[in-house]
Amino acid sequence: MESDPPFQETFKTLLVDLMKEENTEKVHEKFFVAEEYELPLIDLSCLSLSEFDQEPYKRDIADAAKKWGFFQVVNHGISQEIFERMQCEQAKLFRQPFYRKANEKLLNLPMDCYSWGTPTANSLMQFSWSEAFHIPLTHISRIKEFNCTLGSTIEEFAKVVLELAQKITEILAENLGYKSTFFVENCLPSSCYLRMNRYPPCPVSSKVFGLMPHTDSDFLTILYQDQVGGLQLVKDGKWISVKPNPEALIINIGDLFQAWSNGTYKSIEHRVVTNGEVERFIFTSGVTALVLWLSLRASNPTCSIQYFYVPALNKTANSTTNTTIYLDLKLDNKNKFKGIYYDVLNLTFYYGQNRSLPIANTMFPAFYQGHKKNTHRKELLNTNGVPWEAVFRKVSNGKAVFRVDLATAVRFKIMAWKTKKHKLMVRD
Ligand SMILES: O=C(O)CCC(=O)C(=O)O
Ligand SMILES: [Fe+2]
């Protein structure tokens, strides 16, 4: 078909290699065949019930996000009519000749909004037999200027699908104990997109993916597919095939949501297998980031003093002439997926309750700490103005109190993204 990308021509070499392969049956078994399952199904008409009666449904949503990373929803409030219009516009767009899709700004958008295949693939296993349009929702007005019906349909669809994304995200956030209005407050339209994929019939369907195995890098994806099917995902360590349900929308957790929830909700690897005879269409809408929300969610590092030694107070040495103190500070990043950039760490020591006269200061240079890592900083410090004789007598009769303040600023690194700086002050 003149609308199909030139898969065969471009990847002739890859295909020839494959034809020579002897174990194609085995390859097919291993990579393409999977037992069919139904995703957990949630009836969203529950959201019109009383708060109390909604609870079990909300728990089911959270359980599915934890155990499957994927679920489907019915009675989601989006009319069948708008899906049909979207499908119709999508088909019209993909039916354009390939040279136009690849060379002309069909949607009045930058050229890279259209993609096909996997240009970097050097084996068939890395190749995706599909084409796609990726549309940031901020660009809808540009599409409307050019193609009004398509632009308005996308706009209408995006509005309702994002309301749904908002509801689902709020339920999942609440389940983790967060305020439900975070989404509305922090979801920027600039971070939402619509994606349309077409999987043309594939003559080597048992040897090539429609879409390579991947996880979604966004926050949450909502997917509408036709009845053809082909989506597979990993469940309990094995690939399973998702039974298509044309009434339902599929929702899946992306990498950002997994990171934000410290791994509670799962971003699951999935792929699409092709079909020898029929083409398949899907469209997805996703939220790529909730900027502020993400930054608020990271847990601060914990600081502890692992070792504090004051030679002047060593009774056996009995010498108050050595006025140094020795310290081992431990900084612990308990976040499962977030690294931490520390600014310079400033430590100030005091004797007793008196915070007006520091007895020692030190500074540790800025550094980066990976997720689930701890870091030690050890230092020998000179002190000033400590009445050592009195302190020694105090220790002999009980205890002496030293205090330390730690001041720094931290930024969290979530995937490739850095949050803004947070001041961190620890007093003891
Ligand atoms: O076609 C599908 O069912 C899945 C599409 C997908 O995973 C994606 O676009 O990221
Ligand atoms: Fe995906």
Query: Helix 148-175 and helix 80-94: axis angle, to 10°?
Result: 120
Task: Determine whether the shortest distance from the Cβ of 128 to ligand 1 is under 6 A.
Answer: no
Expressed as residue numbers, the domain containing 215 is 7-283
Residues 232 and 327 in one domain: no
Give the global pTM. 0.72
Task: Determine whether the shortest distance from the Cβ of 39 to ligand 1 is under 6 A.
Answer: no
Task: Determine whether the shortest distance from the Cβ of 218 to ligand 1 is under 6 A.
Answer: no
Cα(216) to ligand 2 centroid in Å equals: 5
Residues 111 and 236 in one domain: yes
Total domains in the chain come to: 2
In angstroms, the CA 122 to CA 119 distance is: 9
From 360, 318, 172, 313, select the one nearest 251 (Cα to Cα): 172
Q: Which residues pair with 72 in a beta bridge?
A: 41, 250
Task: Determine whether the shortest distance from the Cβ of 85 to ligand 1 is under 6 A.
Answer: no
Task: Determine whether the shortest distance from the Cβ of 153 to ligand 1 is under 6 A.
Answer: no
Residues 177 and 320 in one domain: no
Q: Per the domain annotation, does 294 fall within a domain?
A: no
Q: Per the domain annotation, does 293 fall within a domain?
A: no
Residues 185 and 274 in one domain: yes
Residues 36 and 174 in one domain: yes
Task: Determine whether the shortest distance from the Cβ of 371 to ligand 1 is under 6 A.
Answer: no
Q: Tokens 């701890």 belong to which residue?
A: 374
Residues 323 and 195 in one domain: no
- Please report the atom of ligand 1 found closest to the CA of residue 132: 9
Position 292 scores a pLDDT of: 42
Task: Determine whether the shortest distance from the Cβ of 211 to ligand 1 is under 6 A.
Answer: yes
In angstroms, the CA 411 to CA 416 distance is: 12
List Cα–Cα distances, 31 to 17, 25, 34, 214, 349, in angstroms: 17, 10, 8, 14, 61
Q: Per the domain annotation, does 338 fall within a domain?
A: yes
Most ligand 1 atoms within 8 A of CB, residue of 118, 214, 282, 285 to mutate: 282
Q: Tokens 């002739």 belong to which residue?
A: 12
Position 118 scores a pLDDT of: 80
Position 23 scores a pLDDT of: 62
Q: Per the domain annotation, does 292 fall within a domain?
A: no
Under 8 Å CB-to-CB from 189, ≥6 apart: which residues?
A: 137, 138
Ligand nearest to the Cα of 275, by number:
1
Q: Tokens 């809408």 belong to which residue?
A: 285
On whether the CB atoms of residues 321 and 328 are closer than 8 A, the answer is: no
Among residues 234, 250, 283, which one ends one of the domains? 283
Residues 274 and 386 in one domain: no
| Secondary structure class of 109 (helix, strand, coil) | coil
In angstroms, the CA 343 to CA 46 distance is: 48
Q: Per the domain annotation, does 199 fall within a domain?
A: yes
What is the token pair recorded at 221?
Answer: 């994806």
Residues 189 and 337 in one domain: no
Q: For 160-214, how does the pLDDT look when each residue is reduced to its tens digit (9 = 90+)?
A: 988 898 889 889 988 988 766 666 665 666 678 899 999 999 988 878 899 999 9
Q: Per the domain annotation, does 297 fall within a domain?
A: no
Among residues 283, 315, 341, which one ends one of the domains? 283
Cα Dmax for the chain = 94
Cα(403) to ligand 1 centroid in Å equals: 56
Q: Which residues pair with 281 in a beta bridge?
A: 198
Q: Per the domain annotation, does 167 fall within a domain?
A: yes
Most ligand 1 atoms within 8 A of CB, residue of 39, 211, 280, 288 to mutate: 211
Instruction: Enter the ipTM.
Output: 0.99
Residues 94 and 232 in one domain: yes
List Cα–Cα distances, 341 to 207, 368, 379, 404, in angstroms: 45, 4, 21, 22
- Please report, in tens digits, the pLDDT of each residue of the chain (428 residues total): 689 998 887 767 776 666 666 566 666 667 777 899 999 999 999 999 998 999 999 999 999 999 999 999 999 999 999 999 999 999 999 999 999 999 888 888 888 899 998 877 777 778 899 999 999 888 888 999 888 999 999 999 988 988 898 889 889 988 988 766 666 665 666 678 899 999 999 988 878 899 999 999 888 999 999 889 999 999 999 999 999 998 999 999 998 889 888 899 999 999 999 988 999 999 988 876 554 444 445 678 899 999 988 888 877 766 667 788 999 999 999 887 678 999 999 999 998 888 888 999 999 999 999 988 999 999 999 998 888 888 888 888 888 888 999 999 888 876 555 666 767 777 76
Task: Determine whether the shortest distance from the Cβ of 191 to ligand 1 is under 6 A.
Answer: no
The residue ranges of DSSP E strands in 137-265, in sequence order, are 192-199, 209-214, 220-225, 231-235, 238-242, 249-253
Most ligand 1 atoms within 8 A of CB, residue of 193, 270, 285 to mutate: 270
Position 377 scores a pLDDT of: 95
- Please report the atom of ligand 1 found closest to the CA of residue 250: 3
On whether the CB atoms of residues 81 and 260 are closer than 8 A, the answer is: no
Instruction: Identify the DSSP state of 420.
Output: P
Ligand nearest to the Cα of 223, by number:
1
CA angle 148–152–153, rounded 5-degree value:
115
CATH of the domain at 372: 2.60.40
In angstroms, the CA 47 to CA 55 distance is: 10
Residues 276 and 312 in one domain: no
Ligand nearest to the Cα of 224, by number:
1
Give the residue numbers marked as catalytic: 280
Q: Per the domain annotation, does 295 fall within a domain?
A: no
| Secondary structure class of 293 (helix, strand, coil) | helix
Per-chain residues with Cβ under 5 A from ion ligand 2:
216
Cα(15) to ligand 1 centroid in Å equals: 24
Tell me the residue length of the chain: 428
Among residues 239, 254, 283, which one ends one of the domains? 283
On whether the CB atoms of residues 218 and 181 are closer than 8 A, the answer is: no
In angstroms, the CA 225 to CA 58 distance is: 24
What is the token pair recorded at 252?
Answer: 């899946």
Q: For 66-109, how does the pLDDT look when each residue is reduced to its tens digit (9 = 90+)?
A: 999 999 999 999 999 999 999 999 999 999 999 999 988 888 88
CATH of the domain at 162: 2.60.120.330
Residues 204 and 348 in one domain: no
In angstroms, the CA 20 to CA 152 distance is: 49
Residues 176 and 279 in one domain: yes
Task: Determine whether the shortest distance from the Cβ of 338 to ligand 1 is under 6 A.
Answer: no
